[in-house]
Amino acid sequence: MPRRIASHKIPVDRISRSAIRVVESLRKAHYETYLVGGCVRDLLLGLVPKDFDVATSATPEEVKKVFPRARLIGRRFRIVHVRVGREIIEVSTFRKQIGPNDTSNYNEHEARDGVIVRDNVYGNIDEDAFRRDFTVNALYYDPANNIVLDFVKGMQDIGSRTLRLIGNPKVRYQEDPVRILRAIRLTAKLDFTLEKSTEKAIAPAGESLNVVPSARLFDELNKLFMSGKAERAFELLQKFNLLEILFPLSSDATDLVTAALYSTDQRIAQEKPVTPGFILAALLWNHYRSQYNALATIGNPQEKQFDAARTVIQEQQHTIAIPKRHAFFMRDVWHLQSRLERRTPRSIRPLLEHRRFRAAYDFLLLRARNAEVEPGLAQWWTEIQTLNPTEQQEQISALSPQKKKRRRRPKRENA
């Protein structure tokens, strides 16, 4: 039986109206329905939830009957996206945990070597609680009665700020190795302590990340980098020796990477736009450069840059599927570095107008701070952006090498 907690501190006004409407509609149709997961956890911690997840006894098809315009998504894990206004509420059906050797539900549940590849066997709410990852993620909130349901002593862990896997950590990481990255991301994001056995099982399970589809790894790493606590999360990846598994090309993290993580965290705190491409560009920068240098010295430098970028990104794709738009971003930031360093007078204006100028300039600043380029160069690019067009022209002209005076040929004397 769950504990029913009425004396919690969930600020009701912070709950999305849309999420409550979804819960109410499903309840009206007689399905048992709650808010669950990250939103309940964050509300209890006084944080603003990123999104709202709903858990229900209705199957995806039944949810769709209640919300005809909703979309069924996912195969490994089927859920329903209900759009209310501009918000998307994720609705998942209560599921139950299936033992590793149980094959009786083959169509809905499948595990290969202990790794769950399909997880669609529905169950009731208490079964659902135990198949969730961490105790603090398995709290259910009933908005109609303003009560939290706790099956796994999650409230206690909220109180002591502890991240604890439900069940046997070794088995739970093996079933779904992405939980390793979730453990790291949530520890960093919430500033929690990892419970001992939850922590101890991480490093030995690291290798199993190799079996996770590369697209899913990208999604999870993207969340980790964009969590606002990327620097801390990255330290944890290093601590558990996960860097060599995820980024075999750059397992020795450089100061440039730390600087890129720090700058991303700062920008998120200031609500400025960020992209995982910037961190990935920093992570693979050294490898890109050595790849470029390894190409024969003859040949068109631009082609060599393209070749080097393509090779590095392709190699990284073996583990993490970097979406095209991010790959293009990385390539542009890399290529622009040499143009920013060269400062050819004719290229200055086009560079200032290049759509990736800002990102490439930010990257150059980090490199300057790490003594990779002379500080005067970064300074010059900082200044030129503050000048009006006439002043800019003066600066650009000052770059031009002095026009060589034509040497007069001595006149041949006629014989």
Catalytic residue numbers, as ranges? 51, 53, 133
Q: Which of residues 28-47 bind Mg ion (CB under 5 A)?
A: 38
- Residue 349 beta carbon to Mg ion: minimum distance, rounded to whole angstroms: 45
Piece in contact with ligand ATP (CB under 6 A), picked from 3-11, 50-58, 321-329, 373-381: 50-58
Size of the site for ligand ATP (CB under 6 A): 13
Q: Is 137 in the site for ligand ATP (CB under 6 A)?
A: yes
Residue from 38, 143, 169, 177 touching ligand ATP (CB under 6 A): that is 38
Q: Which of 95, 109, 118, 179 binds ligand ATP (CB under 6 A)?
A: 179
In whole angstroms, how far apart are CA 249 and each of 222, 243, 246, 279, 315?
18, 9, 9, 14, 8
> What residues contact residue 398 under an 8 Å CB cut-off, 6+ apart?
none
The single residue among 15, 19, 31, 53 that binds ligand ATP, judged by CB under 6 A, is: 53
Which stretch in 129-137, 155-163, 291-299, 316-324 sits in contact with ligand ATP by CB under 6 A? 129-137
Does residue 169 bind ligand ATP (CB under 6 A)? no
Token pair for residue 148?
């939290």
d(CA 394, CA 37): 59
3-state SS, residue 295: coil
CB 175 within 8 A of CB 114: yes
User: Which of residues 50 and 65 has its CB atom nearest to ligand ATP in the complex?
Assistant: 50
How many residues line the site for Mg ion (CB under 5 A)? 3
**Rounded Cα gap, residues 202 and 186, in angstroms:** 14
Q: H/E/C letters for each residue in 319-363?
A: CCCCCHHHHHHHHHHHHHHHHHHHCCHHHHHHHHHCCCHHHHHHH
Interface residue with ligand ATP among 150, 157, 176, 199 (CB under 6 A) is 176
What is residue 95's three-state secondary structure?
strand
**Does position 276 bind Mg ion by CB under 5 A?**
no
| Binding piece for ligand ATP, criterion CB under 6 A, among 133-141, 195-203, 280-288, 291-299 | 133-141
Residue 178 near which of Mg ion, ligand ATP, none (CB within 5-8 Å, type-dependent) = ligand ATP
β 87-93/53-56 pair status: parallel
Contacts (Cβ under 8 Å, ≥6 apart) of 27:
33, 144
Q: Is 265 in the site for ligand ATP (CB under 6 A)?
A: no
Q: How far is the CB of 50 from Mg ion (least distance, A)?
A: 6
DSSP string of 143-171, one letter each residue: TTTTEEEESSSHHHHHHTTEE-BSS-HHH
Nearer to Mg ion, 19 or 327 (CB): 19
Query: Binding marks (x or -) toward ligand ATP, 204..243, rule CB under 6 A?
Result: -------------------x--------------------
- Return the ∠ at Cα 326 (arms to 253 and 227), rounded to 5°: 60
Does residue 178 bind ligand ATP (CB under 6 A)?
yes
Identity of residue 244: E
d(CA 298, CA 223): 41
d(CA 19, CA 40): 12
Positions in 52-71 near Mg ion (CB under 5 A): 53
Closest approach of Cβ 132 to ligand ATP, in Å?
4
The Cβ of residue 263 has, within 10 Å, a number of other Cβ atoms equal to 22
User: C-beta of 353: minimal distance to ligand ATP in Å?
Assistant: 37
Question: Dihedral through CA 89, CA 90, CA 91, CA 96, nearest 10?
Answer: -150
- Say whether 58 sits in a helix, a strand or coil: coil
Told to check if 128 binds ligand ATP by CB under 6 A, we report: no
184 binds ligand ATP (CB under 6 A): no
Segment near ligand ATP (CB under 6 A), from 157-165, 175-183, 313-321, 372-380? 175-183
- Look up residue 314 and give its amino acid: Q
Q: How far is the CB of 40 from Mg ion (least distance, A)?
A: 10
What is the contact surface with Mg ion in residues (CB under 5 A)? 38, 51, 53
What is the contact surface with ligand ATP in residues (CB under 6 A)? 37-38, 50-51, 53, 132-133, 137-138, 176, 178-179, 223
